[in-house]
Amino acid sequence: MIKVLLADDHSIVRAGLCRIVEDDENMEVVAEAADGQEALHKARQTDIDVAVIDISMPGLDGLETTAQLHHEFGSELPVIILTMYEEEQYVVKAVEAGAMGYITKRSAPEQLVAAIHKVYDGHRYFTAETAEALALHVARGTHGMSALDSLSKRELQVLRRLALGDTNREIGDIYSISVKTVDTYRSRLLKKLNLRNNADLSRFAIQNHLIET
């Protein structure tokens, strides 16, 4: 049996994912999590073969959770990112964080099942749309790089938290960095994106689908 961890902050979504996974006689859901910290805790305490992680979760988001899981478990615990976003920047950031698969919530149920089997066997899995986005990024290289592409993983995380209205102290607590460091990231974001204040950052995040509205 392939033992699966499901992490999504919406309980009704997790219930649907559980049904999809357990309809396959070769899989079982052995752990569920509503946020990144809980996902890390369950992964450390439970024997898991594959983790399916939502990219947008409160506190520790899916990208940071994936990066931490990859750091702790490496290829022994492949991660699939499951998200509503299929934009290039998300696919690229997920791969950089260590994800072995990336599928959107618009995908057919059988694609999730296929993805779990694929990464369990040591291969990568991308839907046609996300594979195209990744291929576009590779083809472009650094030429034509957008302002968003230029952001580091941490800058992207801080941008999302600022856009959601978190204070510098709250962001510092989430990522275990100082308030001064958060302010440095904020200043760097304003300069890189040619913006003036947090309201501009929020509008930028919404326009680029970095947060749900």
Mean pLDDT of 141-167: 77
Using the structure block, give the residue that is written with the tokens 């952001």.
151
Residues of the chain with pLDDT > 70, as a percent, come to 91
87-100 residue pLDDT tens: 777 888 888 889 99
pLDDT of residue 164: 86
Fold held by 2-140:
Rossmann fold (3.40.50)
For residue 150, name the pLDDT band (cuts at 50, 70, 90).
Answer: confident
60-80 residue pLDDT tens: 889 989 999 999 998 899 999
Average pLDDT, the chain: 87
Cα distances (angstroms) measured from residue 15 to each of 8, 11, 31, 119: 10, 6, 12, 22
pLDDT of residue 52: 97
pLDDT of residue 105: 86
Fold held by 153-207:
Arc Repressor Mutant, subunit A (1.10.10)
pLDDT of residue 146: 64
Q: How far is CA 132 from the centre of its chain?
A: 18
Residue at 101: amino acid letter: G
Domain boundaries, the chain: 2-140, 153-207
pTM over 0.75: no
18-53 residue pLDDT tens: 999 999 999 999 999 999 999 999 999 999 999 999
The reply to whether 153-207 shares the fold of 2-140 is no
Distance separating alpha carbons of residues 91 and 103, to the nearest angstrom: 9
Mean pLDDT of 127-137: 69
Residue at 164: amino acid letter: L
Q: Does position 143 have pLDDT exceeding 50, yes or no?
A: no
Distance separating alpha carbons of residues 180 and 201, to the nearest angstrom: 18
For residue 135, name the pLDDT band (cuts at 50, 70, 90).
Answer: low
Distance separating alpha carbons of residues 81 and 186, to the nearest angstrom: 27
Distance separating alpha carbons of residues 1 and 162, to the nearest angstrom: 42
